[in-house]
Amino acid sequence: MKNEEIKRLFQQHYSKMYRVARTILLDEHESKDVVSDIFERLLSGNTVLLPATEERYLLTSVRNQCIKRLHHEEVKRLAAESYSKEQDDTEDDERLGEVIDFARQSLSVQEQRIFDLRFNQGCSYEEIAIAEGISKVAVWKHLSHLITIIKEHFNSSK
Instruction: Provide, rounded to whole angstroms, the least separation between the CB of residue 102 and other proteins.
Output: 5
Q: Between 123 and 152, how does the x/- string for binding to other proteins read (CB under 8 A)?
A: -xxx--------xxx-xxxx-xx-xx----
Q: Does 84 bind other proteins (CB under 8 A)?
A: no
Instruction: Provide, rounded to whole angstroms, the least separation between the CB of residue 105 and other proteins.
Output: 5
Q: Does 14 bind other proteins (CB under 8 A)?
A: yes
- Phi first, then psi, for residue 123 (nearest 5°) are -70, 150
Q: How many residues bind other proteins (CB under 8 A)?
A: 67
Q: Does 2 bind other proteins (CB under 8 A)?
A: yes
User: CA 33, CA 30: separation in Å to the nearest integer?
Assistant: 5
- Phi first, then psi, for residue 145 (nearest 5°) are -60, -45
Q: Does 87 bind other proteins (CB under 8 A)?
A: no
What residues from 45 to 64 belong to the interface with other proteins (CB under 8 A)? 45-53, 56-57, 60-61
What residues from 29 to 48 belong to the interface with other proteins (CB under 8 A)? 29, 32, 35-36, 39-41, 43, 45-48
Q: For residue 92, what are the CA distances in angstroms to 4, 77, 117, 137, 157?
A: 31, 18, 24, 32, 11
- Do residues 104 and 145 lie in contact, with contact meaning Cβ atoms separated by under 8 Å? no
Which region, left, alpha or beta, applies to residue 86 given φ > 0 means left and ψ of -120 to 50 means alpha? beta
Assign 124 to helix, strand or coil: coil
User: CA 149, CA 158: separation in Å to the nearest integer?
Assistant: 15
Q: Which residues bind other proteins (CB under 8 A)?
A: 2-7, 10-11, 14-15, 18-19, 22-23, 26-29, 32, 35-36, 39-41, 43, 45-53, 56-57, 60-61, 93-94, 97-98, 101-102, 104-110, 112, 124-126, 135-137, 139-142, 144-145, 147-148, 157
